[in-house]
Amino acid sequence: MKFSSFGNNFSNKAGIVQLMDDLGDALSVNKSMLMLGGGNPGQIPEMQARFRQRMVDILDAGDQFERLIGDYDPPQGETRFREALAALLRREFDWPLSADNIAITNGSQSASFMLFNMLAGRDDAGAPRRILLPLTPEYIGYADQGVMTDMFTANRPTIEHLADHLFKYHVDFDKLTVGDDISAICVSRPTNPTGNVLTDDEVAKLMGLARRHDVPLILDNAYGTPFPHIIFSDATPVWDDNVILCMSLSKLGLPGVRTGIVIANEQIIRGLASVNAIVNLTTGGFGAALTVDMIESGEIISISNDIIRPFYQDKADQAVDLIRRQFAGYEFAIHKPEGAIFLWLWFPGLPISCAQLYQRLKDRGVLVIPGHYFFPGLSEDWEHKHECIRLTYSQPADVVERGIAIIADVVKGAYDGG
């Protein structure tokens, strides 16, 4: 059987495919694997109790459950949810939004695929149009989403070295060029994999750069503010009609319901709804049903600030302390954890590649993600990308502790020539 170029491109062993394959195998086959590689959120008892109670309320509310499972929503997503979210954002941030500025997708991964291929690829004249990532490393799931190959181009960051084995990436504006082939700029905030949070000044510069070149700025806000607010530094929520803000319900504790949210000007939303209708007919409604009450009341913001954010910040602090103790005396650096649910570890001068380190750790029963997958669009070879790994601290404390101890043992062995 011969695949099309589309089929060949999407059936290759992409980084996100390896990630999901390994996660699936570990969950169903090798259940002793220490899962420090995935992006699954932690299980927060208070959030699980709220969602369970909301499900009970739906089941007890007349025919609400039957309508939820038995009726199609519009291609743009459930109307009450969109109206509630628009009202919340108008009230809290004075953003001039209506339900027509919001679309629901089957997860933020689906939203990215649709948006990237709406904006980039071959234009009507056959010329390539690309997405600019203003700094890498960036999200592994972007890398293979383009129907056109080489859809992304990326810029190396500057590296700020901090105390206590910390460092931070910044956008290198002196070397950032928006060429004539760029159709959108995209950045995640907080960044998956590093936990980096672009400063307000960096975001403002990117917004200005995008507007000057008449291209949209896509802000991937899956972990950001105002919800789920897994963010540990100062960051102002931003939106205007040239910004495409992508959000998600996954990190509230609902990864299984696959609910992405896109906030944009009406032209973008109409186009996204059309693609949604063609590809999916409509979107699933469970995420909207489970959260619409807390959006209407505004409680989703206080829940994010008072429950979700402290849960992850405490886990991040504990994981950083463990790493500092375990790696004492060896070369290592941690990207300053400013948000999201990951730590990004850099081992300068590591004698083996991060891909080899990944395999050694997998053989020892620890699953991480090798860093080289997180540099989509970076054409130049950069040794740094082979010296990094991503691990999650969202798992139970004993899993994180045992996993970090094994990582330290394997890395020390590599430095010592083992």
The 10 Å CB-count burial string (b at 16+, else e) for 120-146 is bbeeeeeeebbbbbbbbbbbbbbbbbb
pLDDT tier at 151 (50, 70, 90 boundaries)?
Answer: very high
CATH code that applies to domain 72-302 = 3.40.640.10
The DSSP code for 367 is: E
Q: Give per-residue pLDDT as tens, 253-299.
A: 999 999 999 999 999 999 999 999 998 888 889 999 999 999 999 99
Question: What pTM value is reported for the model?
Answer: 0.94
Domain boundaries, the chain: 5-47+304-415, 72-302
Q: Which CATH superfamily is domain 5-47+304-415 in?
A: Aspartate Aminotransferase, domain 1 (3.90.1150.10)
Cα distance between residue 368 and residue 295, in whole Å:
35
Q: What angle do CA 88, 91, 94 make, to 5 degrees?
A: 115
Is residue 22 within 8 A of residue 367, CB to CB? The reply is yes
Query: What percent of the chain stands above pLDDT 90?
Result: 80
Q: Give per-residue pLDDT as tens, 188-212.
A: 999 999 999 999 999 999 999 999 9
pLDDT of residue 145: 86
Of 25-29, 63-67, 81-85, 139-143, where does the model show the most confidence?
81-85
HSE-up (13 A, CA, CB side) for residue 345: 29
Cα distance between residue 341 and residue 394, in whole Å:
6
* Model confidence at 38: pLDDT above 60: yes
